[in-house]
Structure 1
Amino acid sequence: MKCKINRNAAKELKELLAANEAEGKMIRVVVTEMHGDHAHYEITLDTPTEHDEIVKTDKEIDVLLDRREDFLDGVWIQYFYVPQAGFVITNSSKGSHRH
């Protein structure tokens, strides 16, 4: 499975992982809604399960993706500061998005 992270997202995710409540946990991307040909995503903190693949990114952050969920393969986690601060998770190979 594949996952990309932009530089801003890496900075924000590292801050999330540094928080006390994140101790022993990893970043997970989950599908929150399915709409036929696309999905909506969310970031959570979690621990690996038997169904997960730990995907190493080029930003030194490992991301948990459930191998059973096809819409997770190829997600791109981005963080933008304008027009409003927040994560945008897309998957161009699946025509999916989250704003």
Structure 2
Amino acid sequence: MKVKVNRHAAKALKKMLEEAGAEGKLFRVYVTSVHGDHAHYDLKLDTPTENDEVVKSDKEIDFILDKNDEYLDDIWIQFFHVPNEEWLITNPSKGGHHHHH
């Protein structure tokens, strides 16, 4: 499984990991719903279970992914400042649909 993160997202995620309550936790990306050939995603701090795989992103941030969920392989996590601050999680290999977090 692979996770790609843009530089703005990496900076914001690393800052979140430094906040109180984040100690010992990793970011979990998970599917909130599936519609046809695409999924909607969300992100939260969590700890891995036996059904998970911990994947290091291209920006050296570890993510928890359910190893049995095909929609999580090859996701791209982005954060934009313009025109508004927003998170965007996509999976280009699954139709490129996205979810604003």
TM range (shorter): over 0.9
Q: Is the 8 A contact 2:3 2:58 kept in 1?
A: no
Specify the alignment match of 2:98 in structure 1: 97
Mark the runs of 5 or more structure 2 residues left unpaired by the alignment. Answer: none
**1:58 Cα deviation from its structure 2 partner:** 2.1
Percent of residue pairs bearing the same amino acid type: 60
Q: Deviations over 1:16-58 (max 9, x none)?
A: 1111111110011011111111111111000011111111112
User: Residues 18-33 of structure 1 correspond to what in structure 2 (within 5 A)?
Assistant: 18-33=18-33
Please give the TM-score of this superposition, normalised by the length of structure 1: 0.95
Residue 4 of structure 1 aligns to a residue in which SS? strand
Q: TM-score, normalised by structure 2?
A: 0.93
| Structure 1 residue ranges, 4+ long, deviating more than 6 angstroms after superposition | none
Provide the residue aligned with 2:68 in structure 1.
68
1:92 to partner: Cα distance:
0.6
Number of equivalent positions: 99
Report the residue type matching 2:98 in the other structure.
Answer: H
